[in-house]
A and B are shown apart, each in its own frame.
Chain A
């Protein structure tokens, strides 16, 4: 009887398995959640969802499936906690902003109108100047231009909306846009490849025992080299220009990578890879490393990660002389291909949100050159990139 619910969850992207579904049924049979949707919700969540980043999807699917009996669980569909919003407002608004709110008849009026419109409106809405939706000039919605707007869901396009209000508690845990150094480290750790190299200076108890046994009980000490992460990594960072807004996340990625890998080399480039790159931004015009040197010096077992937004004019990739900084004899595409031929395992991380990629021509070109190994710079994207690097 709950099978459709199970499929709703799977369609919503909650990776629940048959075993877990059977566990849920068993728990229900044992009377763990009788007569209460509340209990059933908690039980189903504990059984079917094994990662807090999927809680939000579960909540959504659950709400969707049980829509018919909405009244019985108001705890999922709470009304706007007005007092709480007010409290936030007092903390976040400057006096000028408070004055602007007065423009719409004060806070109470704003909240009242919002509630009213939430009720009036059915379905998604974009543009226009009244309904709650995206990109419009109505005070409600997101990405709009009204300074006293209330943002409802979604990313803030223009940074204008005053306060985000999210109904779903676990939303920020979903697919983690929040990339901290620590998260990145954990992701990078999957790239580790341990190997024993160098001087044998660690006592190897297992070999000692078996050697001693073979030696008729006379002690025969054995040593082995310490375990090190043997993975080698080359990083190429895009700096300057359109990358300015991604500096923080790049810094974090860099510091995390530095901590994780012993064999790590990094270079900077501007917009695209040409015949030379540099290591020190202050002396970038004097001290440059030619790409031929890199191709010669580093063995093909190095993994290569490019970090850049790949957003530029297509000429900068395809044409000789297309670089905005200098005259390049050969096109950037040629240089990138040389790199990808030498280093078979590579990935490009792009801090631009993935849904914008299709609108930028140069990203499309770069993806073609990289055999589609371009990944968004989110935890999920990093995981995919690492899988590509490991293969």
Chain B
């Protein structure tokens, strides 16, 4: 194996994640990554591209995206317009074939990393339409009757938020990794990577408050890693002292700048109620 992915100075990879990535790279098969929102699924592709020094092509999937969009699009409307204007370009249909992200990745001179982001957002048939393309890394352009083949099989990273189940035939062709919510130890490493100059007391207090908040039952949206990082950024910017985050404090008030952690007014409301209840209990 020429190069191995071992995380980067900006991205902490767990052992099982490294194994999954390296397996996908070695066997040149797609890697499907799932996990809670905000655990760094999308970032993974960027970091793989960075650490292995390869160009990255991003394909963000939306609910209206069709598999064809990733291959190429035939711009019939501008050809129609050109024909009405009598443009000479119109005789070559190739002028109106616009390559998609998959095509670009196939065409890349060096091996590329292709990110297919949030594949579950698209229609249920979307993954099935890409089976052959991802398996053989080639496709056929009907309009120009040419076969597009990948010069180097790209490293394909696919992320999913589990909104739709993916078809079995598709899953069989991928490696799979589920990013768990990091435990406190991994989290400390992640934070160390992002805020090397963070004071230890502040970090300890912040983590404490954060995990406590995640433990509150009934939260609609539990704060995730990316929200914790945002919150820490704010805490640093505002220069909040560690004492303000003291562990027993949830009884007294919401943690400072809680807006970065709780993204749902029902959650804020629930949390306030819990504090109220606790305060009443402690008074009795």
**Residues on A close to B: CB < 8 A?**
15, 17, 19-20, 23, 26-27, 30-33, 38-39, 42-43, 45-47, 49-52, 55, 169, 186, 189-190, 205, 209, 212, 217
Cβ-neighbour of A55 out of B27, B76, B165, B178 (below 8 A): B178
Q: How far is the CB of A263 from chain B (nearest CB, A)?
A: 21
Contact indicator B32/A186 (Cβ below 8 Å)? no
**A46 in contact with B26 (CB, 8 Å):** no
Indicate whether A49 sits within 8 Å of B172 (C-beta atoms), given known contacts A32-B23, A42-B15, A217-B83. no
Query: Is there contact, CB below 8 Å, between B27 and A27?
Result: yes
Known interface pairs A52-B34, A55-B178. Does A17 touch B20 (Cβ–Cβ under 8 Å)? no
**Extra A-B contacts (12), CB below 8 Å, given A50-B174, A51-B176, A209-B77:** A31-B1, A32-B19, A32-B22, A39-B19, A42-B16, A49-B176, A50-B171, A50-B172, A186-B163, A186-B164, A186-B165, A190-B124
Q: Please determine whether A43 and B23 come into contact, CB atoms closer than 8 angstroms.
A: yes
On whether the beta carbons of A46 and B77 are closer than 8 Å, the reply is no
Q: Does A209 lie within 8 Å of B76, measured CB to CB? A: yes
Residues of B within 8 A of A217 (CB): 80, 83-84
Are A46 and B172 interface neighbours, CB within 8 A?
A: no
- A217→B22 CA distance, assembly (Å): 54
Find out whether the CB atom of B23 lies under 8 angstroms from the CB atom of A50: no
**B residues adjacent to A (C-beta < 8 A):** 1, 15-16, 19-20, 22-23, 26-27, 29, 31-32, 34, 76-77, 80, 83-84, 124, 162-166, 168, 171-178, 180
In the complex, 22 of the A-B residue pairs with CB atoms within 8 angstroms, ordered by the A residue number, are A17-B168, A17-B172, A19-B172, A19-B173, A23-B27, A30-B26, A32-B19, A33-B19, A42-B16, A45-B176, A46-B16, A46-B31, A46-B176, A50-B166, A50-B171, A51-B176, A52-B34, A55-B178, A186-B163, A189-B164, A205-B76, A217-B80
Asked if B23 contacts A47 (CB within 8 A), the reply is yes
Q: CA–CA, A169 to B180, complex, Å? A: 10
User: Which B residue's beta carbon lies closest to that of A187?
Assistant: B165
- Contacting residues, chain B, for A46 (C-beta < 8 A): 16, 19-20, 23, 31, 175-177
Residue of B nearest to A24 (CB): B23
How far apart are the CA atoms of A50 and B178 in the complex, in Å? 9
- By a CB distance below 8 angstroms, the chain A residues around B165 are 186
In the docked arrangement, what's the CA distance between A15 and B168, Å?
10
The answer to whether B76 and A43 have CB atoms under 8 Å apart is no
* B15 vs chain A, min Cβ distance (A): 6
Q: How far is the CB of A213 from chain B (nearest CB, A)?
A: 8
Give complex CA distance A341, B168 in Å. 35
Supposing A38-B15, A46-B177 touch, asked if A23 and B80 sit within 8 A by C-beta, the answer is no
CB contacts (< 8 Å) of A212 on chain B: these are 80
How far is A30 from B172 in the complex, measured between Cα atoms in Å?
19
Question: Which of chain A's residues have a CB closer than 8 A to the CB of B22?
Answer: 32
Closest Cβ of chain A: how far from B128's Cβ, in Å? 15
Closest Cβ–Cβ distance, residue B215 to chain A (whole Å): 8
- Name the CB-closest residue of B to A38: B15
Interfacial chain B residues near A169, Cβ < 8 Å: 180
Distance to closest chain A CB from B158 (angstroms): 12
Q: Are B80 and A26 in contact (CB under 8 A)?
A: no
B26 touches A27 (CB 8 A): yes
Chain A residues whose C-beta falls within 8 Å of the C-beta of B171 in the assembled complex? 50-51
List residues of chain B with CB within 8 A of the CB of A20. Answer: 172
> Does the CB pair B80–A209 fall under 8 Å?
yes
Query: In the docked arrangement, what's the CA distance between A15 and B169, Å?
Result: 12
Complex interface: chain B residues within 8 A of A45 (CB): 16, 176
CB distance from A91 to the nearest CB of B (A): 8
Q: Are A43 and B164 in contact (CB under 8 A)?
A: no
Q: How far is the CA of A33 from the CA of B18 in the complex (A)?
A: 12
Residues of A within 8 A of B16 (CB): 42, 45-46
CB proximity of B266 to chain A, nearest CB, Å:
12
- The CA of A31 and the CA of B22, in the complex, are separated in Å by 11
In the bound complex, CA of A51 to CA of B32 (Å): 10
Q: Please, how many angstroms separate the alpha-carbon atoms of A26 and B212 in the complex?
A: 44
Complex Cα gap A2–B77 (Å): 57
**B residues within 8 A CB of A190?**
124
- Measured between beta carbons, the chain A residues less than 8 angstroms from B31 are 46
Name the residue on A nearest B212 (C-beta). A91
Question: Which 9 pairs, one residue from A and one from B, show the smallest C-beta to C-beta distance?
Answer: A42-B19, A50-B171, A46-B20, A52-B178, A42-B16, A50-B176, A46-B175, A19-B172, A209-B76
Point out the residue from B26, B80, B172, B174 that lies within 8 Å of A32, measured CB to CB. B26
- Closest Cβ–Cβ distance, residue B57 to chain A (whole Å): 23
Residues of A within 8 A of B178 (CB): 52, 55
Rounded to whole angstroms, the CA-CA distance of A190 and B125 in the bound complex is 12
Which residues from chain A contact B77 at a C-beta distance below 8 Å?
Answer: 205, 209
* Bound Cα distance A15, B32 (Å): 17
The distance from the CB of A266 to the nearest CB of chain B, in whole angstroms, is 24
Distance of A23 Cα from B31 Cα, bound (Å) = 13
